[in-house]
Amino acid sequence: MGIFDKALKTAKNVGDSLASSAVNVGSSAGTMVQDNSELTNLKMQINVIEQELDAAYIQIGRKYVQHVLDTGDMGNIDVADLLKMMDPKLSRKQELEQELIELEKRMKQNAVLREKERVEQEFQAEKTKLDRALAMDVITQDEYNFKISVARKRVDNFEEIRRIEQQCEMGIITQEEKNARISELTR
């Protein structure tokens, strides 16, 4: 009866894990869509302000050229009215750019959290598979402990492994160096 109980428990764990994964994928996709929408909106607002500022810069240039042509003097010209008009736009542009930076930072953090969640789910899937193999006496307790330890180290060293993978993507280290370093962390 014990083997059937272990198998039933393992099947229940797999079902719970799959349901949890589906909920997480749905909420994470919704968050990504919302963040991307907000990112696009901020970029569009910045673009509109830049176009308005460009129009003001053109007017300043025209006033300056006209002044030089009329007087032959490259001295002072009165653009205070244009600068007053531009000031709130410049301020708003700076605010939007700061919001954009914050949003991009938040999106990056969310991506890291999603990646970490994926690693956790991979660990749970591996654990479920190993639990099943142990319950069916396909592997020994020692083999189980070793394999669980390796899988747990991947989760525990997530940040370092992620950093190593980024170094490889950037060409700082080779694929062989990446594999060796990750192997060191997981053994």
Q: What is the pLDDT of residue 20?
A: 58
161: closest CA among 144, 183, 145? 183
Average pLDDT of every residue of the chain = 81
The token pair that represents 31 in the structure block: 């968050």
82/77: higher pLDDT: 82
Q: What is the pLDDT of residue 13?
A: 61
pLDDT tens track for 12-32: 665 565 555 555 556 666 777
pLDDT tens track for 144-174: 999 999 889 888 988 898 899 889 988 999 9
pLDDT band at 36; cut points 50, 70, 90? confident
Give residue for tokens 């003097």: 73
Q: What angle do CA 187, 109, 96 make, to 5 degrees?
A: 160
Angular region, 133: left φ>0, alpha ψ -120 to 50, beta rest: alpha
pLDDT band at 123; cut points 50, 70, 90? very high
Q: Nearest 5°: phi and psi at 101?
A: -60, -45
Residue 178 clears pLDDT 70, i.e. is over it: yes
